[in-house]
Copies of this chain bind each other. A is one copy, B any other.
Amino acid sequence: MDKITTSIITIGDELLIGQTIDTNSAWIAQQLNAIGIWVHRRVAIGDIKEDILEALARESAVSDIVLVTGGLGPTADDITKPTLCEYFNTSLVQDEGALENVLHIFESRGLPILQRNLDQSMVPASATVIQNKRGTAPGMWFEKDGKIYVSMPGVPHEMQGIMEDYVLPQLAAHFDTPAVIHQTLVTSGMGESFIAERLVAFETKLPPHVKLAYLPSYSLLKLRLTSFGKDKVSVAAEISILFHELKELLADILVTDHDNTMGQVLGQLLREKGKTVATAESCTGGLIASWITAVPGSSAYFKGGAVTYSNDMKVKMLGVKEETLQAHGAVSEAVVREMVTGALSFLGSDYAIAVSGIMGPDGGTPEKPVGTVWVAVASKDRVNTIKYQLRYDRERNTQMTGVYAMNELRKLIQE
């Protein structure tokens, strides 16, 4: 069975000079995969007419669908629309629906309207216009020589609205798409090559339409099994058996058998047990709390957090003893132990996480170099502490500390 393939073209100098990280492509790919459409290639180019024309021609030659984002704003560097007119040999006309939308947005915000805003309702005559409920630039759907092209704004939530409301349902209706199923699990505590060694026999016997991918992410490793075929039920049945086998093979290092964040994993465990958690963060500066609360409904199990960057805050907010700080220093087993028990009692939770470390680039000493981190996790009757020596930059050290600490709490809850 032939795959239905898509190329994604992202337009904008900001993507080429590195000022913007492309998150649209990942989102689009996830949505397309869910309806059985494959992303064959992604191309990022600048706001240059020749490059846009070439990319349109080239990508439509290899893919069934060409999705274009960016270059539709009201400013002079946005040249996608005239370039589309040239490519499709058409010219700009005013779209009444798009004009009404622009007028409505400006009226509702009480803003005066400029010619360049009105111009956003001009569209290539051969396009099917897709109204943008979240902004002024409409989406545009073209068909040419059996290929489908869609141009959308680069602003993520506007693009997402246009995809969800129109593009995804239309593509699903237009193509006889295959069934694609991904199953992902997350492991911790074993390197990629050791896991690969353990899975040699499993990988060898996988049928050609099933793929296993290794996706490292900080201290965690995701393994993703993908299968596709004509019939969704048989694809689902087959991958279910294989995924179960994979989980059994990795049971000792399994964090979750879903593609979940550590915040989601902890949230589910706490919900199941009807327990609460609190955080006491020094070096992670609130990151762990923000990851826990990024999950909708986390107010059900998150009591609160103390970000105690300074010593006096450790004393004041968590009841850490001055003597302990003086005798051992802020980055020590004794201090994270008092921080975690302080969090349990002052914040009144069933479980708590505490971290204290030196993230860099400054602040290290010969005894406690940059990257030294102490983590404590606790329940009412147990405290586990662990020391890490991280070797990366400030951002990475901070993120790894967050993941490690949350994983330690997961283990404690599951004990």
A26 neighbours in B (Cβ, 8 Å): 15, 18-22
**A51 interface residue, CB < 8 Å from B?**
yes
A51 neighbours in B (Cβ, 8 Å): 40-41
**A303 interface residue, CB < 8 Å from B?**
yes
A41 neighbours in B (Cβ, 8 Å): 16, 43-45, 51
Most B CB contacts (10 A, CB to CB) among A75, A215, A216, A363 go to A75
**A284 interface residue, CB < 8 Å from B?**
yes
Residue from the list B73, B114, B307, B361 in contact with A286, Cβ < 8 A? B307
**A335 interface residue, CB < 8 Å from B?**
no
List residues of A (340-394) whose CB comes within 8 Å of B's CBs: 346-348, 360-363, 392-394
Residue from the list B74, B184, B192, B211 in contact with A74, Cβ < 8 A? B192
A27 to chain B, nearest CB (A): 6
Q: CB-defined interface of A21-35 with B at 8 Å, one 1/0 digit per residue?
A: 111011111110100
Determine the distance from Cα of A276 to Cα of B286 in the docked complex, in whole angstroms.
17
Interface of A is mostly: mixed
Contact A307:B285 (CB < 8 A) given known A21-B22, A44-B41? no
Determine the distance from Cα of A396 to Cα of B23 in the docked complex, in whole angstroms.
13
Chain A count of residues within 8 A CB distance of the other chain: 102
**CB distance A13 to B196 under 8 Å?**
no
**CB distance A193 to B304 under 8 Å?**
no
**A339 interface residue, CB < 8 Å from B?**
no
A363 neighbours in B (Cβ, 8 Å): 299
Number of copies of this chain that the complex holds? 2
A306 neighbours in B (Cβ, 8 Å): 304-307, 317
**A404 interface residue, CB < 8 Å from B?**
no
Determine the distance from Cα of A43 to Cα of B39 in the docked complex, in whole angstroms.
12
**CB distance A25 to B30 under 8 Å?**
no
A168 to chain B, nearest CB (A): 14
**A177 interface residue, CB < 8 Å from B?**
no
A384 to chain B, nearest CB (A): 22
Determine the distance from Cα of A107 to Cα of B135 in the docked complex, in whole angstroms.
57
Residue from the list B114, B286, B308 in contact with A288, Cβ < 8 A? B286
Determine the distance from Cα of A75 to Cα of B213 in the docked complex, in whole angstroms.
9
**A294 interface residue, CB < 8 Å from B?**
yes
**A243 interface residue, CB < 8 Å from B?**
no
**CB distance B222 to A294 under 8 Å?**
no
Q: CB-defined interface of A226-254 with B at 8 Å, one 1/0 digit per residue?
A: 10000000000000000000000000000
**Chain B residue with the shortest CB-CB distance to A48:** B40
Interface residues of A (CB under 8 A from B): 13-23, 25-31, 33, 38-46, 51, 73-77, 111, 114, 116-117, 155, 157, 182, 184, 191-194, 196-197, 203, 211-217, 222, 224, 226, 259, 279, 281, 284-290, 292-294, 296-299, 302-310, 312-313, 316-317, 346-348, 360-363, 392-396, 398
